[in-house]
Amino acid sequence: MSSRRDYQLGLLFVTISAIAWSTTGFFTRLIPLDSFTLLAWRGIFGSVSVLLVIILSNPKGWVREFTRIGRVELIYIALTVSGMMMFITSLRHTSVAHNAVIYATIPFLAGFLGWYFLREYPTRSSIVSSGVALVGVLLMVGFGGDGGLFGDILSFGMTLSMAASIIVIRKNPTMSVLPSACIGAIISVFICWPLGAPLDVTSLQLCHLALLGVVNSAIGLAFFALGSKKLPAVETALIGALDTPLAPLWVWIAFSETPGINTIIGGGIVLAAVIGHIIVSQKASPLPQAAG
């Protein structure tokens, strides 16, 4: 497969993962449960759905996928699980607005880590688009004084762990990402189960939770794992920023919860930044593959 075709597939796959992950707000609105209960069941259904993807993609050798887990995979698992815990804890100590704005810096963090560890040099388009996207997020949610320093630190830690996980996948394209994600989801169940009330869910909520696990984990994680291997780290993070403007769109469609003017304008800026970068990137040669 040509590098151009590979690059285009990377853009497509990461875009699909961003769309899948952008439904988190919709499911959170649909399922009125506390965060730990929701995450516990998401971990159960997520691990099962990811396991099914692994089995379907390699029916005869799927067990070997898990036996290949080594140091790199353990680092990835630690990053994703710790990032999840920092994210949940940060919401208790800072505002959602602060959390969103801090997370919007991930293209810059991923770009720096990509340069430092992989010697990937971000293009001018990716840097400018990341800055424009950050402005869009700031306009969407603002950056009021209702945050807390401890929560902001945790939010930054979560963002850093996500950026680092992108680098791990990019540097090790043959690593067992999906088995690692499956194990990470199982670990999240053990962490979140005793902290929530998972046995108090209704049968309808259980169906919604199953759908959340499939969309968020099987679709989101699978396409993210495939796409992040094919794109420079900063571009993976930038395309992932699509979930910020898309999240209120699904809530508006499903619940007629009309977004404010700042959300509409800011979301439009983020969308324009990402789409603009994709258009510009198609006129230039993709960056070389990361060093292994």
Biggest distance spanned by C-alpha atoms of the chain? 55
Question: Strand, helix or coil at 22?
Answer: coil
Instruction: Tell me the average pLDDT of the chain.
Output: 87
For the stretch 92-102, pLDDT in tens is: 787 766 777 78
Contact 105, 157 (CB under 8 A): no
Closest Cα to residue 229, out of 137, 136, 163, 167? 167
How many other CB atoms sit within 10 Å of the CB of residue 85?
A: 19
Residue 190 pLDDT grade (very low, low, confident, very high; cuts 50, 70, 90): very high
Confidence at residue 143, expressed as pLDDT on a 0 to 100 scale: 60
Distance (Å) of CA 123 to CA 234, 235, 276: 9, 9, 13
Whether 158 has a pLDDT exceeding 80, the answer reads yes
How many Cα atoms within 13 Å fall on the side-chain side of residue 186? 11
Confidence at residue 210, expressed as pLDDT on a 0 to 100 scale: 96
How many Cα atoms within 13 Å fall on the side-chain side of residue 243? 23
Whether 75 has a pLDDT exceeding 70, the answer reads yes
Confidence at residue 146, expressed as pLDDT on a 0 to 100 scale: 59
Whether 201 has a pLDDT exceeding 80, the answer reads yes
Residue 200 pLDDT grade (very low, low, confident, very high; cuts 50, 70, 90): very high
Q: Quick one: what percent of the chain has pLDDT higher than 90?
A: 44
Q: How far apart are CA 162 and CA 159, in angstroms?
A: 5
Residue 289 lies in a domain: no
Confidence at residue 145, expressed as pLDDT on a 0 to 100 scale: 57
Whether 288 has a pLDDT exceeding 50, the answer reads no
Q: Which residue has the higher pLDDT, 85 or 202?
A: 202
**Eight-class DSSP state of 198:** G
Residue 251 lies in a domain: yes
Domain extent at residue 205 = 3-281
Measured in degrees and rounded to the nearest 5, phi and psi for residue 60 equal: -90, -25
Q: H or E element: which one contains 8?
A: helix 3-21
Residue 96 lies in a domain: yes
Q: How far apart are CA 121 and CA 114, in angstroms?
A: 8
Residue 286 lies in a domain: no
Residue 58 lies in a domain: yes
One-letter-per-residue 3-state SS of 42-92: HHHHHHHHHHHHHHHHCCCCHHHHHHCCCHHHHHHHHHHHHHHHHHHHHCC
Q: How many domains does the chain have?
A: 1
Residue 119 lies in a domain: yes
Residue 47 pLDDT grade (very low, low, confident, very high; cuts 50, 70, 90): very high
Residue 147 pLDDT grade (very low, low, confident, very high; cuts 50, 70, 90): low
Residue 35 lies in a domain: yes
Distance (Å) of CA 61 to CA 84, 144, 199, 245, 253: 30, 52, 35, 39, 42
Residue 291 lies in a domain: no
Q: Taking each helix axis as running N to C, give the angle between helix 261-281 and helix 233-240, from 0 to 180 degrees, rounded to the nearest 10.
A: 150
Contact 231, 11 (CB under 8 A): yes
What average pLDDT does this structure show over 249-276? 87
